[in-house]
Each structure stands twice: as structure tokens, then as C-alpha cells.
A and B are shown apart, each in its own frame.
Chain A
Amino acid sequence: MKVLVVDDEPIVLKSCRRVLESEGWEVTCAPSVAEALTIIDHMTPELLLIDVKMPVHDGMYLMRQVRDQHPGIPIIVMSGYATSETIKEAEGLGAAIFLPKPFTPDELAKTLHSVAHGPLTQPKGETS
């Protein structure tokens, strides 16, 4: 399973790669929206894990691009500071789930699993 993680914070990218690779995911990391868009064009990820607040273009912009060009890719939105408006906007743009930072490895793994395989086998992660 291929997942693209987009975040301007290296420590977040590093943490996600560390956890998800150990869970068996094929992880690609992008430190900016522009780079993420290039990567998506070359390899079509099965899942997107993206941060909301980023310089230049933010997560919302990226989601709109993905929705237009690659509809169907599930998106998990993560944020360190999410208001209900942000969450609503993200859901409106097609985000599957909202993951608040910080998260433990278990929380991250469960969230990705539930999005990729449906919440049948595992209960949903925290949603707010």
C-alpha cells in the first residue's frame, strides 16, 4: 500500500515514515504541496496523509487539486490546531477523517488502517 505524507515539518514526516513503514506501508514524503503534486502525478498513492497548515499552499489547496485531478484517493487530514470550521471545510473537500496532532503510533496506524480497509475490523481513531 502506497501512502503519501505531506507536511512542512521534517519531524512529522520522519515520525510517520518510521511508524508506517514498520506497519508495512510504502511511504513517500513531501515537504510541500508543490512537491506533493509532482509526486502524485508520477505515482498514484492509495492514501494521502496531509497537514493543513503549510507555507505557500496549504492542505486545503492540495485537497482541491487532488479532488479535481485524482478523485477517489482517500485523504486523512492531520493538524496540531484544528477548529471545527477547519474540520468541516476539510470534510467538505472530501477528507475521510481528521487526525489531531500529536498522535501515538497506534493511533496513526489504526486511523490509516480504518481508512484503507474500512472500519470493519478496527474501531475508528479519535475524530476530534
Chain B
Amino acid sequence: MFYSTRAKLLAGFLGVTLFLGAVSLLAGVHLIDRNVRGEALTHVRQDLNSAHEMYLSRVRQVKTALSITTLGFAFISSVSERNTTDLVLRLERLSRLAELDFAGILSEDGRTLCRTGPYAFPGPGARGPHRLAEAVLDQRVPLSGTLVLERDFLLSENPELAERARITISGGSHAGTDGVRELTDGMAVAAAVPIFDAARLVGVLYGGILLNRSEFFVDALRAAVSHGEPVKGESVGTAALLLNDVYIATNLAGAEGRRGLGLRAAAAVQEQVLGQGKLWVDREFVAREHYIAAYRPIEDMFGRRVGMLFVGVPEAKFSHIRGQVLQFFILITLAGMGLAAATGIVIARRISAPIQWLIQASQQVREGSLTPDLGPLQKSEMGLLQKAFGEMVEAMGRRRAASELRIIQSEKQASIGKLAAGVAHEINNPLTGVLTYTHMLLRRQDIASDVRADLQVIAEATERVRKIVKGLLDFSRQTKLDPEPTDVNRLAAAVISLVENQALVKGVTITFSPGENLPRVTLDRNQIQSVFINILVNSLDATEAGGHIRVFTAASLSGEGAAQEGIEITFADTGCGIPPENLNKLFDPFFTTKGVGQGTGLGLSVSLGIVQRHGGHIRVQSEVGKGSRFFIWLPIQRRAEHESAGG
């Protein structure tokens, strides 16, 4: 399957961003959970302590109020005198001021003298049933604390109180298995103070606050712990008092909007707090939602664990923060992905656009174009690739043109060679006849001078034919090479000395600059010598008097394919130069710019054949009016293929 680079890049970018986003999200959530929850637990634990302090101070208030009352002179005398009417008035005032739900006075023998409520004056036989008063009578010291009040006591004190204490237990949401039941006992914060009249015990003052359904008390607790912070429009803090495991006073919202009275704490809480007397701080589902909750035991004044104090903060407060952070992380991740996608698209476009151009360009090359459209050049590595591609195609084109030219050249030579050989062979026989009879005629003394002149013309023309045919034969003759290691400098020097006289006569100087430390080249001396002569004589023919020819040799690598070591011999003249249109035809057999009878047009053709059979090549640079340069390159070691091409 084909996936575009663009898609891959995009997928990569998005994948990385998504991965990082997911990781930071997980890490963030984990951190928040740990820290916020830890914080919340600590917070709730502190709240629980505050609530407990408040509870205890409530106990102290009750005790203090009672104690102060027992110190009043008028009060003491009323008790001593059993002035119950006055005492009831005083009790009611006390209850109002100290917010007591019940209060009463016992005689020193334990009978109830009077009390608040509908049964203010019980009969002489009525005894205070509660152990608190009895303990005070016994120990003669003030006592205070939590007290569980049985229904009988409540009924005897005030039926309204009994009614208030009655709470239906809803065991549904909690571990309770004993079904729907009713709680009739009350839990109270109570105190009892002995009344002394000049060191004589005259009675006991008792009083207390019933905690069942005590909205005021729980709201005060909540206000103390929550500092009034609202979360999502609701109050944060939740506080509650439990008698055993039953919620008897709370601001928890229960079913149908009522306060969550009658709910039961989880069995685990009950076990740990009531059973073992330890704190319980954890996440708990209460009523309708999850809370970070804390419970501590409440002991009555006799040291029994009779109930629990609860403080809780809805988890929603923390999950709200968590949700916000989560949202923030998701937003960042999405933004990151968007950014990555945009970057990916831009980068992919910058990478893939030149690739598309290159693909199209290579298609163009395949279809034969050597000048493909590469599109705008990039400034990156892609640009280098584009440039390299362009250069490669260009080089390919040059090489193809060069090799095509070479193939055409050698095909031309081969076919012309065969033709020349056949023609030469056939012509030479009749030519022998022509030469013979012309010369035999010329030998005769008895011919007229005009006839002799005519015969002379025939002889000369025939001589020319002979030369042409000889040239043809030289050209076609694929003479086998007779190679031997040769000092090219010495060979060139020998050739120059052969031509030097001719140059001197013409007024052309020839200079030779032999390259130093040139290796010997394996070549056929005679044939290469004829090549040198041919080119040097050509140069000489092209150069006017006063011009000069420079010959130099140098080590050189072949410029094509696998570079091969070789030697280059350069013939540079200041002659007339070669017009560009003639450069291609230069090595064609019979191509000549010289006058009729001056040259056969085979010299360069033969020379090229010889050099090629040596595995070398000839290059020409020329500028009309300035001169020409012929470069003959010969390999130091011939390759095997060239050997077989000769002969």
C-alpha cells in the first residue's frame, strides 16, 4: 500500500502530541488526585477537631450556666425552703438563657422537686431516674458530658422531648440489615451540679440540651468548619451527630429534601469508631453523594462510646477542581495537536512538493526529455537533491550524446572501411594497367611533344588516383597494433623534429613542453607517430607565418565513466580555427577543407581510428580566428576490449 509522506508525517506528529497529551493528562490527574485528596483528608480531619472542640465547649457552657445558677443566694434559699414556684420560674429563665431543653432540681434524697415543662411539680414520690443526678448526689461534685436519655425519662420530663427524640431509622442505603426501626432514645449534652447551703447539700440542679433533631447545634457546627464557602451553589461543610450509628442531627440533605435523619453509618465506620474508638477519615457515600468524611467517637460521661461526630465535605468540591484541571489538560493537548497538525502539513508540503516535482521530472526523463522541469529549488537538502538530479540528467544527456556520436563515428568508419577496401582492391588492378601503359608510352622517344604533354597529364592524374586509393586503404586497414612501452615525450619530440623544418620554412614556431615524470605508455609507436604527424601537419597547415604551435604532455585521468589513468598530448595552434559547424564533421572520412589534391580527408579519420584502437580518444576545442587545440588522450594500460577491436 502507498502512504504519502504527508500522511505519515502528519500521523507521526499527531501521534507524538496525543501520546504526550495523554501522558501528561494521566500524570496530572494522578497528581491532583493524590494532592487534593490528601489535602481534603487533612482539611476534614482538622474540621472534625474544630467540631469536637465546639461540642466540648457546648458541654462546658451547660455546666457553667448550671454552676453559676447554684451559687445565687436567692436560689439556694429557695431550694432550702422548697419554694418550687420560685424555682420553676428561675429554671425557665435559665433554660431560656442557656438554651436548655430540659432542666430540673432534685432534693438531696433524689426526688424531683420541680422541673421545666408540663410536669413542673411532680408528686413527692417522683425520683430522677437518671444516673447523672444520682452520681452527683453520691459524689457531691458537678458532672457534665454526653448522656443517653431513655424514652421513659424523656416522657417523664416532657412528652415533647420524647417526640423530638423519635427518629425513623432508614437502613436502606447503609449496612443496616435490621430493616426499618425507630430510635426512641435521645442523646443530650447535660450537666448536674450539687446545691449547697452553707456546706449542707440541699439538692442537685440538672439540665441539658437534647441533640436529636438539633438543627441549631448542627448548623453552628457546620458554620464553624466550612467558613461559609459555597461550592456549586451549595454549602460545603456537612456536620452530623450520631447516636450509635444513626444520624440524629445533621444538615445532610436526605431523601426528598429532608435532612438525612435516621440514616446509618457504614458498618466499617461503626466498627472502627464505635468498636475501636479510633478516628475514621476517608471517602464515603452518604445519603446522595460521595463525601470526604471524618468520624470520631463521642463518649458519655461514664466513658462509654455512645455516638459519633461526623464532618464531611462533598467530593464534588474536589472533583470540580479535578474536572477543571482535566479540561485544561485536554484543551492543551487539543491545541498541541492542532499546532502539530498545522506544522506537519506545512513541513510535509515543503518536503513532498519537491518530491512530487522530482517524480514528475523522472517521468519526463523516462519519456525522453533531458531537460525536465524540477520546479522551484528548495533551500534545504531537498534543494540539493533537486540540483543533483538536474545535474545527473544533464550529465546523462551529455554522455549519451557523446556515446551516440562515437557509435555513429565508428559505424561510419567501419562501413566506409569495407567499401574502401573493396573499391581499392578492384581499382588497383586496372590502375596498374593505366600506369604501365602511360609510362611505357612516355618512354618512347618518337612521340610528338604535345602528345607527351598529354600523356604527362594522364600520368599525374593517375598518380593522384593512386594516392587517394592508398589513403583509402590506410583508412580501412584495421592494422593490428604492435604495442610496446613507449616514452610519449620522446615520441612527440621525434615527431616535432620531423616537422620542424617544414615549420621553419613557413615561419611558424613549434614549442614543446614535456610533462615531467610521465609513465611509459604501451602503444604502437608507428601508428601513434603517424597520428602525431597528422595532427601536427594539420596544425601547421592552419597556422599562418608568425603563428606558433605549442605541444605539451601531461598525466591525465579520462573524464568518462570510471576514471582511468592516462596521458594527454595537446597540440595548440594559433591558426585559423575551425567553424563550429565543421567540428562535428572533422573526423568524418573524406571531410576536408583543403583544396583539391591537397588532402584526402582521411587523415583525422585514420588518426581517430588508431587512437580509439588504443583505448583513447581525441577532443577538439577551436575558436575561429584564434586557433585550435587537439587533445589526444591515451590510457597507460589498455583494456582488453580495445585489443580485440584492433586487427
A residues at B contact (CB < 8 Å): 9, 11-12, 14-16, 18-19, 22, 53, 80-81, 83-85, 100-106, 108
Contact = CB atoms under 8 A, between A and B. Distances in A.
Contacts of B477: 83-84
Given A15-B437, A18-B440, A84-B480, A102 B432 contact: yes
A22 B440 CA distance: 9
B455 to A, nearest CB: 13
Contacts, number: 67
A81 B424 contact: yes
B425 A81 contact: yes
Given A18-B440, A100-B428, A102-B428, 5 more contacts: A9-B429, A11-B432, A80-B426, A80-B429, A105-B436
A105 B425 contact: no
With most chain A CB atoms within 10 A of its CB, the pick from B426, B436, B477 is B436
B431 A101 contact: yes
9 contacts: A11-B433, A18-B436, A80-B429, A81-B428, A100-B428, A102-B429, A103-B432, A104-B435, A108-B436
Contacts of A80: 424-429, 432
Interface of chain B, helix or strand or loop or mixed?
helix
Interface string B441-476: 001000000000000000000100010010001000
Given A11-B433, A81-B473, A83-B479, A105 B428 contact: no
Interface of B: 421, 424-437, 439-440, 443, 462, 466, 469, 473, 477, 479-480, 647
A85 B477 CA distance: 11
A28 B480 CA distance: 36
Contacts of B479: 83-84
A11 B435 CA distance: 11
A9 B174 CA distance: 138
A83 B417 CA distance: 13
A13 B251 CA distance: 149
A72 B477 CA distance: 32
A56 B432 CA distance: 23
Contacts of A19: 436, 440
The 10 closest A-B CB pairs, nearest first, are A80-B428, A15-B436, A102-B431, A11-B433, A81-B425, A101-B428, A102-B432, A9-B429, A80-B425, A105-B439
A102 B477 CA distance: 17
Contacts of A102: 428-429, 431-432, 434-435, 462, 466, 469
B623 to A, nearest CB: 39
B474 to A, nearest CB: 11
A18 B434 CA distance: 12
B478 to A, nearest CB: 8
Contacts of A103: 432, 435
B425 A53 contact: yes
A41 B424 CA distance: 34
Contact of A11 (B421, B424, B430, B473): B430
Contacts of B430: 11
A12 B429 contact: yes
Contacts of A81: 421, 424-425, 428, 473
A22 to B, nearest CB: 7
Nearest to B422: A81
Nearest to A85: B480
Nearest to A106: B439
Nearest to A7: B429
B458 to A, nearest CB: 12
Contact of B443 (A12, A14, A101, A105): A105
